[in-house]
Structure 1
């Protein structure tokens, strides 16, 4: 059973808990979101697999997950990016924020989300158990698409797209 790191509002670890239990109880835990841009400035998106336990078949950022207990964030981001998208690179920390969102299947995401960014111009080799589809989109096109069809995107990704730090990164 995969464990997540429970944290306080200052991102101090306060314990661990089985991942599904943390999501059922809506407890604050450490997570990360990775956004990769190509050299044209487009974001690499993934469509979550239909088998995901929440937010299935929704479009989201390049990769997201949780560090394992005793795993550094650098190791976790590199590991999951390779596992989900077949991309072996080390993204750089950009910013972090806390959010809480009610999800499908009576689950709650309450995360201290660490956002990482990087550059990638290739074609991902996706893990079909994790990712159903992928595409690159410009920030302008993406924001318009989210405005037109917000239900097609994950809760955390919509927050990332409106975060002021993203504009600084994409500039």
Structure 2
């Protein structure tokens, strides 16, 4: 059984719990989200596989998941990017945020999410059990799509996306439209 790391508001580990149990109970746990841009400043989006345990078929960032007990969050983000999207690239820690939302299937997300940003230009070979589709889109077209059809995007993506764009504009010397 896959476990998540339960944390307090300062991201200090306070235990571990089976993943689905933590999502049913809505307990705060550690997570990560990886955002990937190409050299033009377009963002890699993935459409989650429809059979995912929540948010199936919704569009989101390149990958996201939970570190395993005893695993460093940065290492988990690198591992999961390779597993889900089939590539590796260097990642930079951008920021953390905490959110709590009700999901489908009587589940909740209550996560302290560590956000990583990277750049990639090569071949993408997603795991079809995880990813239904993927594409690179301009920040401007993502913003427009989110305004017109917010229900097509994951809850955490809607929260993190504007902050990632702001972070990239400030820290990466790359200017992407907002």
Same fold (TM over 0.5): yes
How far apart are the structure 1 equivalents of 2:8 and 2:75?
Answer: 22
CA offsets per residue over residues 34-75 of structure 1, 9 Å max, x none? 000000000000000011000000000000000000001121
- CA RMSD in angstroms comes to 0.9
Distance 1:28 1:81 in 2: 23
Runs of 4+ with >4 A deviation = none
The answer for the alignment partner of 1:58 in structure 2 is 58
Matched, 1:157 2:157: yes
Deviation digits for residues 80-112 of structure 1 (CA, Å, limit 9, x no counterpart): 000000012231110000000100001000000
Q: Residues 77 and 90 of structure 1 are in contact (CA less than 8 Å); yes or no, is this contact kept in structure 2?
A: no
Give the equivalent residue in structure 2 for 1:3.
3
Residue of structure 2 equivalent to 1:82: 82
Query: In structure 2, the residue corresponding to 1:51 is in which secondary structure?
Result: coil
Task: Give the TM-score of the pair, scaled to structure 2.
Answer: 0.93
Gaps of 5+ in 1: none
Match of 1:166 in 2: 165
User: Which residue number corresponds to residue 172 of structure 2?
Assistant: none
- Unpaired stretches in structure 2, ≥5 consecutive residues: 170-174
Secondary structure, aligned partner of 1:22: helix
Number of equivalences: 170
